[in-house]
């Protein structure tokens, strides 16, 4: 599951991506002062591009059931020393979120399909920021619960069946399984294995 800045056109590559425009509880702010106004809104997804949110506001966000959004596209946009500073700010904000009991999620916020990243890359991004495996899994669950599970893995998003959650090709048609390499002697997956 991912949140992006463009409108996915339903092609296979953008499976499981929600546009920002479809989320009424997604808020962006440039600094801590403008972030303050969104922290009390129920189930808010708050993306502060400067990654500076006051600790009191993190407590308010936690009480309202919201989460801080960490965007991979923000890191990709910076180079050199600026990128290092941004990653440091992100790591400090994750630490503050832990202390205050605030949830956080990891998304790409890609501006087009070419900038989208897979689940493994988002997981690696979370690890670079210091998130544990448990925190990464909790972040995925939290994102699904806040967005209402609209792009829940295992639900068909169009024609064809989808793989169950946990599969490597979530959001891809089940027919894509046939193209996967198999060990010699292993039969292709059946419809029961793929899910209905």
Mean pLDDT per 10-residue run, the chain (196 residues)? 81 67 90 85 92 93 95 94 95 95 94 88 94 94 82 37 37 42 55 47
Fold of 2-146: TIM Barrel (3.20.20)
Return the number of other C-beta atoms located less than 10 Å from residue 132's C-beta. 11
Q: Where are the domains of the chain?
A: 2-146, 153-196
pTM of the model: 0.72
**pLDDT of res. 45:** 94
50 Cβ neighbours under 8 A, 6+ residues apart: 30, 31, 32, 89
Q: Please give the structure tokens belonging to residue 44.
A: 């808010």
**pLDDT of res. 12:** 42
- 3-class SS string, 108-177: CCCCCHHHCCCHHHHHHHHHHCCCCHHHHHHHHHHHHHHCCCCCCCCCCCCCCCECCCCCCCCCCEHHHH
**pLDDT of res. 175:** 41
């Amino acid at each position: 599951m991912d949140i992006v800045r463009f409108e996915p056109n339903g092609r296979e590559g953008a499976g499981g991506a929600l546009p920002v425009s479809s989320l009424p509880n997604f808020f962006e702010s440039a600094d801590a002062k403008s972030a303050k106004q969104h922290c009390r809104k129920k189930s808010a997804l708050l993306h502060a591009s400067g990654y500076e949110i006051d600790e009191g506001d993190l407590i308010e966000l936690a009480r309202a059931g919201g989460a801080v959004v960490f965007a991979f596209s923000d890191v990709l946009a910076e180079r050199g020393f600026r990128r290092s500073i941004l990653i440091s700010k992100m790591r400090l904000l994750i630490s503050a979120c832990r202390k205050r009991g605030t949830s956080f999620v990891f998304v790409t916020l890609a501006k087009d399909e070419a900038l989208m990243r897979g689940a493994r890359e988002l997981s690696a991004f979370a690890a670079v920021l210091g998130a544990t495996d448990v925190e990464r899994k909790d972040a995925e669950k939290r994102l699904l619960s806040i967005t209402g599970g609209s792009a829940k893995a295992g639900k068909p998003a169009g024609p064809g069946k989808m793989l169950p959650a946990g599969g490597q090709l979530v959001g891809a048609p089940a027919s894509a399984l046939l193209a996967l390499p198999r060990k010699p002697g292993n039969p292709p997956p059946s419809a029961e294995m793929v899910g209905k």
